[in-house]
Amino acid sequence: MSSEQKPWGGRFSEATDAFVEAFTASVEFDRRLARHDIQGSIAHAQMLQRIGVLTEKEMHAIVRGLEDIAGDIDRGDFHWSLQLEDVHMNIEARLVDRIGETGKKLHTGRSRNDQVATDLRLYLREAVDLICRDLARLQRALVDLAEREADTIMPGFTHLQTAQPITFGHHLLAWYEMLARDRERLQDCRKRINVMPLGAAALAGSSFPLDRHCTAQLLGFDRPAANSLDAVSDRDFAIEFAACASLLMMHLTRIAEELVLWTSSQFAFVELPDKFCTGSSIMPQKKNPDVPELVRGKAGRVFGHLFGLLTLMKSQPLAYNKDNQEDKEPVFDTVDTLRACLRAFADMVPHIRANRDEMRLAASRGYATATDLADYLVRKGLAFRDAHEVVGKAVRLGVETRRDLAALSLGELQHFCELIDDDVFAVLTLDGSVSARDHFGGTAPIRVREAVAEARRHLPAD
């Protein structure tokens, strides 16, 4: 076989149409799997030698040839041929050119069907490990910032309306918890990625006595796939990864949206470093939060890849179909997009500066301590529903007179409920409100610091 000859050409009497050749080729994108393809081929050759299909000399020749090809690819010295269709046949053809007829024996007992499924799993397993590392770096940055802002008071919101005072550190740890679930999901997804299709061949297995457990061990897989038909046609692992990635991107958009809001002059809660923002071509005063906005926007492409992969697999009959050539680009782009967004946030978060005075001022508006007043009345013996009504009337007076609850006089408050005494003003302070939430998961500064310490115990080392 010459380096440009089709490996399946014996069945055909005419050359492939030039357009069809370009239309069906995948080498322009699947060559990204070259390192993983070589890794799988080396393990396959070693297994073939152990079962007696290859001699030790042949196995070593194949391994050395593949390692040399890997070096060529790393240096950019490898010529990729469209005529050879994909990464697998390009590497195999180069191997035959290098070591001769022995190179043709490598494909014994396997097909491109199980080969590409193995390559993609090897790639995605590595990608998940890198993404989890990126996630942990962002989590560490959030934890560090949360510790720094453990005492910083800000308004907590529901419906984007001031609800209760919280600490900024507590809010940052809510972001941390979102990402902790994402990391757990990815680690769990990795278990289903880490199953080896190699040895399933085209769909039915091989007539050679392949030791698939040996190959799986050499490649670090937990086990070989149990059914050859399913092994070559399954792309659940890619869809599950895209689903995990979509959830992660959704969480990043929630963080991004709050940063966009908080950097606006209407909130002015935080400032982002200049190097993560851009200006306007016409308005000199503008400082645009482009990084959070772009992360928010990039979620759409990741969500799209999830639906694309689901649609790709919808109604596919067993086993492998050419449709599955379309699985790689969405996976590659999802990985690239995710890692870029995580890096942007992990680089930016340590430099976020909290405008503490603005946050505190905002928390003092909107009757954020109304629930504290209701709790105070409950402790005095009033049923909560009655306390709720009393506080509602007090808030109405505050709205009518444009005063916060803490600015109402004792007499005005006692007009609504005689149980109120002068000790009420201690619970109407912002500091008293957040400090009172002194339980596991609460916003009290002491609990924030405990949560920071606990988070650090669960995060991997740098």
Residues 258-298 have pLDDT tens digits of: 999 999 999 999 999 999 888 877 887 778 999 999 999 99
How many CA within 13 A on the CB side of residue 397? 17
Q: ∠ at Cα 177 (174, 183), nearest 5°?
A: 150
Pairing of strands 153-158, 161-167: antiparallel
Q: In which residue ranges of the chain is CATH 1.10.40.30 found?
A: 365-458
Gap between the Cα atoms of 306 and 154, Å rounded: 37
Question: How many other C-beta atoms can be found within 10 angstroms of the C-beta atom of residue 189?
Answer: 20
CATH class label, 365-458: mainly alpha
- For residues 398 and 367, the answer to whether their CB atoms sit within 8 Å is yes
pLDDT at 295: 97
CA-wise closest residue to 132 among 60, 187, 50, 61: 187
Distance of CA 216 to the CA centre of its chain: 27
The 10s digit of each residue's pLDDT in 124-164 is: 999 999 999 999 999 999 999 999 999 999 999 999 999 99
Please tell us whether the domain made up of 113-150+168-207+226-355 is placed in CATH 1.20.200.10: yes
pLDDT at 4: 54
- Outline where DSSP puts E strands in 27-181: 153-158, 161-167
Q: Which of 166-180, 195-209, 413-427 has the lowest mean pLDDT?
A: 413-427
Give the model's confidence band at 11: pLDDT under 50 very low, under 70 low, under 90 confident, else very high.
low
Q: Which of 159, 265, 281, 315 is catalytic?
A: 159
Residues 6+ apart with CB under 8 A from 261: 267
> Cα dist. 186→300, 399, 435 in Å?
20, 48, 36
159 classed as catalytic? yes
On average, the pLDDT of the chain sits at 94
pLDDT at 12: 62
pLDDT at 2: 45
Per DSSP, what are the bridge partners of residue 278?
288
213 classed as catalytic? no
Could you please report the per-residue DSSP string of 87-119?
HHHHHHHHHHHHHGGGGGGGGTT--HHHHHHHH
Average pLDDT over residues 347-351: 97
Average pLDDT over residues 428-447: 94
Q: In which residue ranges of the chain is CATH 1.20.200.10 found?
A: 113-150+168-207+226-355
The amino acid that residue 296 corresponds to is R
pLDDT at 379 over 60: yes
Gap between the Cα atoms of 189 and 387, Å rounded: 48
pLDDT at 1: 42
Task: At 432, list the tokens.
Answer: 């008293």
Q: In which residue ranges of the chain is CATH 1.10.275.10 found?
A: 9-108
- For residues 142 and 176, the answer to whether their CB atoms sit within 8 Å is yes
pLDDT at 111 over 90: yes
Q: What end-to-end distance do the CA atoms of the chain give, in Å?
A: 49
pLDDT at 207 over 80: yes
Give the CATH fold of the 9-108 domain. Answer: Fumarase C; Chain B, domain 1 (1.10.275)
Average pLDDT over residues 389-399: 93
Per DSSP, what are the bridge partners of residue 296?
none
Gap between the Cα atoms of 124 and 260, Å rounded: 32
